[in-house]
Amino acid sequence: MPELPEVEVVKKSLENKLKNLTIKRVFINNNKLRYKISNRQFYRIKGKKITSVKRRSKYLLINLNEDLTILAHLGMTGKFFIIDKNSKKQKTSFYYSIKKNEFKHDHITLFLSKGFKLIYNDVRKFGFLKLLRTKNIFTTDHLKFLGPEPLTNEFNLKYITKFIINKKVTIKNLLMNQKFVSGLGNIYCNEILFLCKLNPLKNVEKINKKELANIVKFTKKILKASIVKGGSSIKDFANTEGKNGNFQQKFNVYNREKSKCNRKNCLGIIRKIYTSNRSSFFCSRCQNK
């Protein structure tokens, strides 16, 4: 379940390894992702060079020359694998077969110069790849309504204070709202609220200035820590070498229903509730309303 830190880790990896490589061949094993890929359109990237890789929220922007950008979203289980000639996966089998489990969910393969391959793998197929004009990229429906990046100075106390005027939402829903701040998902929202000692159902009208400042502080802190550690994991995230992130041991509340609260001297028990069709985890004692 990749959120901002995981996507950032993938972005760095793609940027480091793929920059300036040329796409030699495009192989589409399955074009039915979240949005159906037009094979004919996608084959146009053959011969193009990867000039840079950027991230906006949870989206990856793989920039090619000639004004083309592959906009990618990993959804729940999307992964990019970079394979070079020394890689195990390539040694196992060059050919792709849907009968072989190993390759079952490899939907798109780009054969690159210098013997590299870039594979898009997605078990649930909630992710997508779209080929767009670079010059139009930030005005596409996917990106144009996104709120500020949480790690920029744009995301600050003043911004939050202004945004929540006349809003009646719960703090959990506010953090999940991509128009408010972009890139947070369910896991990090739960963890941020734990660090802030805020109940997910608390209405933003009832949150004081000090607590709002804490939201800014802890959001940045936890995202930075996770990026440094290589992205979190649960079970679905893997970086481009297929290794899981190691942030997963650090979760205080996510998936810890009925466990003891990690906060020193708290002794509370982690509870799980559903809000807006999402699981919320919180300590019934130190995150009480």
Partner DNA sequence: TTCTTTGTTCCGGA
Partner DNA sequence: GTCCGGAACAAAGA
Smallest separation, CB 144 to DNA (Å): 11
d(CA 20, CA 205): 50
Q: Taking the complex as a whole, how short is the minimal distance between the CB of residue 80 and DNA, in angstroms?
A: 17
Q: Which residues are catalytic?
A: 2-3, 58, 278
Given a contact cutoff of 8 angstroms between Cβ atoms, the answer to whether 229 and 247 are in contact is yes
Binding residues (CB under 7 A) for DNA: these are: 1, 3, 32, 58, 73, 75-76, 104-105, 123-126, 141-142, 166-170, 173, 176, 178, 185-187, 275-279
Cβ-Cβ contacts under 8 Å for 36 (sequence gap 6 or more)? none
Is the CB of 58 or the CB of 117 nearer to DNA?
58
Q: Which two tokens stand for residue 231?
A: 């992205």
CB 252 → DNA: shortest distance, Å? 15
User: Could you tell me the smallest distance in angstroms from the CB atom of residue 17 to DNA?
Assistant: 25
Identify the DSSP state of 206.
G
What is the DSSP-derived secondary structure letter of residue 77? T
Q: How far is the CB of 140 from DNA (least distance, A)?
A: 10
- Among all chains, which residue has been given the structure tokens 């011969």? 47
Nearer to DNA, 8 or 50 (CB): 8
Calculate the dihedral angle through the C-alpha atoms of 196, 200, 206, 208, rounding to the nearest 10 degrees: 10
Which lies closer to DNA via its Cβ, residue 1 or residue 61?
A: 1
Q: In 3-state terms, the chain is what percent helix, strand and coil (to 5)?
A: 30, 25, 45
| Among 78, 59, 81, CA closest to 70 | 59
Residue 139 CB contacts under 8 Å (≥ 6 apart), including other chains:
none
Q: Given the complex with DNA, which of 73 and 79 has the nearer CB atom?
A: 73
Token output for 69: 């950008």
